[in-house]
């Protein structure tokens, strides 16, 4: 064992024994007062129910934060509703303007408008057809290009239909 090996070796000289430093001792500077300890009989110590950790709100700070979040959410909802109402009013105004504008046109003016719309649609269709034929000759016409052309015609058609009503 280690103890036997250590005992069989040479012992320390008195000079070696004196060389070791003494172990420092902890000095207590605090008083042994118990005034800082919590007294369980005072009202400052509170107990909590056994389901405390499962409660939705555990502290007053959490409750205040939740209240602030609910108020902010309520204000955001109110602002969104107001914005919807304003947007609906603007749409009605624009619709009324277009209705009045086309209602005030005379027969000649409305005929001219229909003819110009038809000419614009034929011109746009001709232009797109010319471009599509150029792509076809080069072998680059595909479903993507055809879809884009039909999409442009569809958007123009919807726009024209909206104005015609």
Expressed as residue numbers, the domain containing 139 is 107-165
CA pseudo-torsion sign 56, 60, 64, 67: positive
Residue 72, pLDDT score: 92
Is the pLDDT at 110 greater than 70? The verdict is no
Mark whether 98 and 112 lie in a shared domain.
no
Lowest mean pLDDT among 3-17, 31-45, 78-92: 31-45
How many domains are contained in the chain? 2
Sequence-distant contacts of 116-120: CB under 8 A, at least 24 apart = 117/160, 117/163, 117/164
Mark whether 93 and 142 lie in a shared domain.
no
- In a domain? residue 24: no
- In a domain? residue 100: yes
Most confident of 59-63, 103-107, 123-127: 123-127
DSSP 12: P
- In a domain? residue 121: yes
Q: Please give the structure tokens belonging to residue 11.
A: 């012992």
Confidence of residue 71 (pLDDT cuts 50, 70, 90): very high
Question: First vs last Cα of the chain: how many Å apart?
Answer: 108
Mark whether 89 and 122 lie in a shared domain.
no
Helix axis angle, 107-138 relative to 143-164, nearest 10°?
180
């Amino acid at each position: 064992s280690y103890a036997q090996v250590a005992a069989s070796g040479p012992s320390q000289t008195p000079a070696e024994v004196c060389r070791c430093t003494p172990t420092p001792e902890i000095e207590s500077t605090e008083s042994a007062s118990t005034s800082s300890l919590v007294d369980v009989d005072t009202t400052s110590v509170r107990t909590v129910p056994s389901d405390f950790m499962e409660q939705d709100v555990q502290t007053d700070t959490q409750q205040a934060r939740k209240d602030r979040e609910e108020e902010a959410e309520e204000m955001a909802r109110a602002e969104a509703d107001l914005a919807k109402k304003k947007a609906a009013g603007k749409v009605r105004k624009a619709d009324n303007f277009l209705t009045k504008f086309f209602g005030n046109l005379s027969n000649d003016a409305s005929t001219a408008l229909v003819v110009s719309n038809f000419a614009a649609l034929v011109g746009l269709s001709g232009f797109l057809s010319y471009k599509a034929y150029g792509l076809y000759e080069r072998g680059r016409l595909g479903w993507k290009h055809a879809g884009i052309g039909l999409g442009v015609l569809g958007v123009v058609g919807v726009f024209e239909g909206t104005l015609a009503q």
